[in-house]
Structure formats: C-alpha cells, structure tokens
C-alpha cells in the first residue's frame, strides 16, 4: 500500500508545521507526517520550514537569530486569522512527546542548506534515541553531506536524499551515500525512475502531490509513499481505489 505523508502536517488546510496541522493529519488517517527542523539562537531544535520568519509567522528576520523563548512568543498561524487561534512554533521534542501517543511515521527534513547549523544532526539523533523513535523516523535533506553524517552517526536510521532535478539512477546514488530511499520532486520522478527504484528495493516518496489525478497515478503505480499538503484528500482517493479493487475481485 502506498503510504500518505502529510507535508508539514496538513499544510493545505492548517498552519504548516504546527501542532494543529500534525493533529489534523492524524485525524484524517495519514500514515505519517513530514516536517522541517532548524536550530534556534540558543541551540534548540525547532520546527519551521523557512530560514526566515516572514512568511509563516508575524515576525521577520532569521530563525537562527532568535532564542527559543523569543520564538515561542510568535504566532505561527498569521495566514489563518480567526480560524484556529494563535499557534506556537513547536520544538522537535514537543512533537516527539505527541508522537508517543500514536503510530505515525515522521519524516524529518534537516533545513541546513542555507545555514549549516553545526550540531543539528547530533541533536536530532539524540532526541530520536531518547524517545525511542528510530523505527518511525526518516531523515531527509537537500544537504547530502548532512545525510552522510547522519548515517555515520546513526546507521540504524533511515536516510533519504531530497532532490529537485533529474538524477541519473538515483537508487544507486542513494545507496552510495548510505541512504535507503529517495525523496524526489515529482517533476524529477517519471514512472520509469519510480519503477526502477522500487525494483532495486529503494522506496520512492515524491513531493508535493496535491492533485487527485496524480495521486491516483502514483497509487496505481505502487509508489512507496506520497508527500501531500492534503492528506484527507489523499486518504479518500486511496480508499476509493481500494474499494474499486475489492469489487473487481472474484
């Protein structure tokens, strides 16, 4: 079965990378969530996508220039005024505490391409081990040097390179850097790449799959997982296909 990962939580319907978005993903039946981590000025692992605060909060400037206490005063849902109330920027530890109460998988993207955030890998791995999340976590990043470091520090964890452009035989490349899956932009993942990767035992989880027609195509192709802003839609589409399959069975 193709798994459904909620991109930054249910980012199409709730403030991205907030606890309300993650809880919505669980409510609608997603199999996992995808989220992003950076370091605050005082070295805390916080959940936010952009290096700048401007788009997703009521503040400006860089995440790295604010302490956790300062970040916690911000509103992480300025685009959902009056709908869900004020949302805080979560820490990775807060997310793990919540994950203890469910069985969701969690894809953590290390946002360390613009800023390297020395120590980010060690801190994330320390939290994964402290909360015994190793079997439910996938580490991904556009910084493939960072993924190699993660594999060296914690070879038991699954790592998956993110990439936007065409990559020749990405299933071989992933294994070469210690990865066990690939997370391509859907435009860089034509059917033959997905099928070849799967045949070599390398899971494929493309992003960001929001159209129903594309969801159906990937479900029928047997893709390992999709990463989507609309997990409720994806669950409905998958259930519809499964229902049709059951009806066709003798």
Residues near 222 by beta carbon (within 8 Å), at least 6 away in sequence: 2, 198
pTM of the model: 0.96
Residues near 68 by beta carbon (within 8 Å), at least 6 away in sequence: 40, 42, 44, 46, 91
Q: pLDDT class for 226, splitting at 50, 70, 90? A: very high
Q: What is the mean pLDDT of the chain?
A: 96
Give me the torsion for CA of 61, 185, 127, 203, rounded to 10°. 180
pLDDT at 245 over 80: no
- Among 85-89, 147-151, 203-207, the minimum mean pLDDT is found in 85-89
Rounded distance between C-alpha atoms, residue 158 and residue 133, angstroms: 11
Rounded distance between C-alpha atoms, residue 185 and residue 190, angstroms: 10
Over residues 131-147, the mean pLDDT reads 98
Percentage of the chain beyond pLDDT 90 is: 93
Percentage of the chain beyond pLDDT 70 is: 97
Bridge-based pairing of strands 3-7 and 32-39 is: parallel
Over residues 126-150, the mean pLDDT reads 98
pLDDT, position 79: 83
| Token code pair at residue 29 | 């039946």
Which among 226, 232, 188 has a CA at the least distance from the CA of 207? 226
Over residues 9-36, the mean pLDDT reads 98
Over residues 95-117, the mean pLDDT reads 98
Residue 144 is a catalytic residue: no
Instruction: Give 177-198 pLDDT, tens digit per residue.
Output: 999 999 999 999 999 999 999 9
Q: pLDDT class for 85, splitting at 50, 70, 90? A: confident
Rounded distance between C-alpha atoms, residue 143 and residue 114, angstroms: 9
Longest Cα pair distance anywhere in the chain, in angstroms?
62
Residue pair 195/174 in contact by the 8 Å Cβ criterion: no
Helix ranges, 154-230 (H)? 170-176, 191-199, 212-221
Instruction: Give 31-56 pLDDT, tens digit per residue.
Output: 999 999 999 999 999 999 999 999 99
pLDDT at 225 over 70: yes
Q: Assess whether the previous peptide bond of 66 is cis (omega < 30° from 0).
A: no
Task: Give me the catalytic one of 14, 49, 144, 151.
Answer: 49
Q: pLDDT class for 246, splitting at 50, 70, 90? A: low
pLDDT, position 247: 66
């Amino acid at each position: 079965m193709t798994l459904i990962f909620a991109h930054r939580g249910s980012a199409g319907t709730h403030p991205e990378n907030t606890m309300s978005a993650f809880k919505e993903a669980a409510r609608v039946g997603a199999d996992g969530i995808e989220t992003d981590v950076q370091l605050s000025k005082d070295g805390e692992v916080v959940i936010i996508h952009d290096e700048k605060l401007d788009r997703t909060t009521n503040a400006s400037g860089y995440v790295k220039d604010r302490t956790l206490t300062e970040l916690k005063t911000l509103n992480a849902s300025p685009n959902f005024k009056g709908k869900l109330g004020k949302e805080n920027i979560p820490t990775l530890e807060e997310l793990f505490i919540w994950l203890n109460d469910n069985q969701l998988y969690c894809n953590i993207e290390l946002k360390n391409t613009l800023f390297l955030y020395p120590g980010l890998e060690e801190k994330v791995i320390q939290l994964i081990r402290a909360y015994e999340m190793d079997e439910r976590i996938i580490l991904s990043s556009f910084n493939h040097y960072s993924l190699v470091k993660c594999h060296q520090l914690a070879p038991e964890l699954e790592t998956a390179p993110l990439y936007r452009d065409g990559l020749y035989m990405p299933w071989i490349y992933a294994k070469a850097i210690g990865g066990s899956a690939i997370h391509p932009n859907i435009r860089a993942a034509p059917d033959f790449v997905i099928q070849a990767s799967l045949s070599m035992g390398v899971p494929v989880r493309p992003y960001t799959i929001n159209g129903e027609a594309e969801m159906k195509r990937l479900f029928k192709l047997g893709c390992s997982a999709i990463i989507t802003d609309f997990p409720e839609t994806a669950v409905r589409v998958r259930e519809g296909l499964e229902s049709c399959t059951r009806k066709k069975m003798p």
